[in-house]
Structure formats: structure tokens, C-alpha cells
Amino acid sequence: MPFYESISGIGLKNEKNITIVLDFGAAYTKAGFAGEYGPRVITKSEVKCRETGKMVPVFNYKGEDELRHHLVDFIHKLYFRSLLVNPKDRRVVVVEDLLGSSLVRDTIASVLFRHYEVLSVSFVPSYLVAVMTLGCRTALVLDLGHNEARVVPVFEEVPILNAWQALPLGAHSVHSSLSELLLDRAMTICEGGQEQRLSAVMDELPDKILEDVTVRTCFASTVERSNRLQNNKYDRSIEPPPPPPSIQYPLSGSHIMTIPGTVREMAAEVLFEQDLDNLCIPTMILNAIISCPVDTRRALAENLLFIGGLAELKGLKHRILAEVRALVTTPPYSTLLPSITFKLHTPPAKDNYVSWLGGAILGATEAVVVRSVSREQYLSRSCMPDWCNLFYNTRDERDQKTL
């Protein structure tokens, strides 16, 4: 039998048993099949509004009904345009954010069970399944998402939720910083060859352009160059480092934007500027480790894992690690974390879909059958078990007697 026939036969035989894995994000959603190495589709989390006909973010809603309409249309696009499968009688693994909204979680479950009649749904924590991809049981997970950055320690496959840290420092912050820098410093070349400021051509840059410029041109500078830039910002007598080369970026058929090298370098500095509480991404990591039990701190520090779309930014991982190693030698971290080393994992996938890959690994095991909520169980209760609800985490005396 030819090799390709054996592959096709296996696919057709197990087609109805393949679990769907969904990872909903604020900016992008990953969808695919359990047991595969990567998602079949990574699409923007946006849907056409039924009232206005414009594309709007899925999780930008005014009420539960609007969120339900968004999810019904968006999941329909995932199943019938991207995955090309019938959702009925299929198991679904949803990679969820432990610190996310309960309304979003319950609405996703309601849409999957009542509208699409899936066989079962299993919500798995994104930080825990991300650690599963490493083949280890302990890691400190830093999720650099679109809206914010979050740190959740996972020790022996148990998230330490009382040590979590979060700051509104995500890709949206970098885009905002980049927009201000470009409108202040960038120049444009018009169709006639005339050069003028970007702010004279447009008042604001679209999110699509900001995202593309960030991915293609921006990078995180080293600690030494950053210190020299900051010193020059407040003291012009200090000579700044030589700037990186400028880049020309086509805005349209008639305008070409010249992006200065300093803008490319300074856009990501917002992630390392401490706020009024002296907090930034490096301090989040150290504060999360300090909040954990003493006997877990060394293992967490030696197993750092950075995930999320912003983690793909060039030089960002090296910069965060350098900042953390420099901060740990200063008070109060030097007394609380003495002689501790920091090591960074390289995940077996792109940083933006590491959590999805963990869900795909889990969905290919028997755990998806044992730990899922079936359609019959959901319809009888009309709610999903929630880890933060004590009703699902305690047993009454009657249940204990039956054990």
C-alpha cells in the first residue's frame, strides 16, 4: 500500500474523533486539531457587526447578548471557513485564561453546547498547558499578550494563583508608544518628492500599520544602550549612542514614511519604564517569585517561560532577562533572592501559540474524555464548573458517604 493511502485512511477513520482546540485571544485566535504540531488557522479576533456591518473585536461588547452574537458568528467562521468540519458531536478543548472574565467563559460554553451542539467541552488553563509543552512540571510563565502582561508561577503542575502579577503592558502599549514617536519624529515623502512631517499628513495611524511596523522594524535595545538613551533624554550633555539605520515604509501609493532608527529602538522602552509603584515587566517576575514559598523560588527562577505574541519582538527576551539579572542584585531583591540564577526555556513552538500547542497535547490524551463536561451534563445544570466557585470545589456530607 502506498504511504499516502495509509495516511489518508487513518485520517478518514478517526475524523469524527478528532478534538477541536480553540485558543481565544484579545487580538488573535488560534484554532486547530488535537495531536497536531500547530494550529490550522491564526485569525484576528474580530467579526462583522450585525447592526453596522463593520468589523469589530469579538470581545468588545456592551452586554451578554452582543457577546453571544459575536461568538456565534466568529465560531461559525472558525468551523466552516477555516477548519472545514462539522462542530456537532465533536469534543472541544478551550484554552482559557484563569484570570479572564466568567461571563466570556460561560457564554463560550453556552454557544458551543446550545448553538453548535458539541459533544463535550473542556476548559484548560493556558499557563498550565504551556508548561506541558516543555516536558517539565515547574515554570514561571510570563504571558505577553495584546492588552496586558501577566506572570503566573506553576509549581508541580499547580498554578500558584496568589502570586500572580499583571500590568497593562502589552502589544497595545507598544503600539501606542510607536504611534506617538512616529507622529513626532517620522517624515513622509509625497508623490511629488516633497518631504514633510507625518503629523501633517495624518492625525493617527491605523492599528494594522502599527502592528506591521512593530513586527517588521522594531526591536528591544540592550540595557547599556537604553541607559544612555534615558540619560540623554534628561541631560543633553550626555552623548546618545549611534542610532540604528532608518527604514522607509510605504504608507500608500503616494506616501512613503521614513522611520528613524531611534523610533525603532525606543518603541519597546515603555515595557521597562517603572510606574509610580516602581513596577515594570522585570519587577513583575521578581515580585511573583518572592510571593511564592521559599522552597519553590529557585526552581521557578531556573524555569522561565515567555509566551504571547509580543514575546516574538526581536531582542525582548534577552532584554527582560538582562533587566531581571541586574535588578536581583539590588535591594530588596538581593536579600530575598540571594545567589539565585535565572534560565529561560525555548518552547517547541512559536511564542504566540505555545498555549494552543499545550491544549492540542492534552486534547490528544484520555484526559479530554475524563475531564470534559458533556452536553447532557451542561444542559442539566446550564453552567460550567468554575475553579473559583466553592460549590464545585467542596463536597457535602452526602457525597462523601457515597465514596
Give residue 52's pLDDT: 84
Contact 340, 333 (CB under 8 A): no
Give the per-residue pLDDT at 390.
63
Classify the phi-psi angles of 61: left when phi > 0, otherwise alpha if psi is within -120 to 50, otherwise beta: beta
Q: CB–CB of 115/48 below 8 Å?
A: no
Per-residue pLDDT at 384: 79
Quick one: cell of 238?
550626555
Q: Can you tell me the distance from the alpha carbon of 157 to that of 133, in angstroms, rounded to the nearest whole number? A: 12
Q: Which three cell numbers, joined as nine digits, stand for 78?
A: 472558525
Domains of the chain, earliest start first: 3-131+353-401 (3.30.420.40), 136-169+280-346 (3.30.420.40), 171-271 (3.90.640)
The region that residue 222 occupies, defined by phi over 0 for left and psi between -120 and 50 for alpha, beta otherwise, is beta
Give the cell for residue 181.
Answer: 514617536
User: Cell numbers of 174, please?
Assistant: 507598544
HEC per residue, 195-256: EEEHHHHCCCCCHHHHHHHHHHHCECCCHHHHHHHHHHHHCCCCCCCCCCCCEEEECCCCCE
pLDDT in tens, 190-235: 877 788 888 888 888 899 999 999 999 999 999 888 888 777 666 6
- Name the residue type at position 127: Y
Looking at residue 311, what DSSP letter applies? G
For residue 143 the three cell numbers come to 504571558
Q: The dihedral of CA 57, 62, 67, 70: what is its sign?
A: negative
Low-confidence ranges of the chain (pLDDT < 70): 1-17, 232-237, 387-403
What is the C-alpha to C-alpha distance for residues 337 and 297, in angstroms, rounded to an integer? 8
How would you class 147 by CB atoms within 10 Å of its CB: exposed for 0-12, middle for 13-18, buried for 19 or more? middle
401: exposed, middle or buried (Cβ count in 10 Å: 0-12, 13-18, 19+): exposed
Predicted TM-score of the model (pTM) = 0.89
Distance of CA 160 to the CA centre of its chain: 19
Please name the helix (run of DSSP H) or strand (run of DSSP E) that holds residue 261, with its range, or none: helix 261-266
At residue 27, the pLDDT reads 92
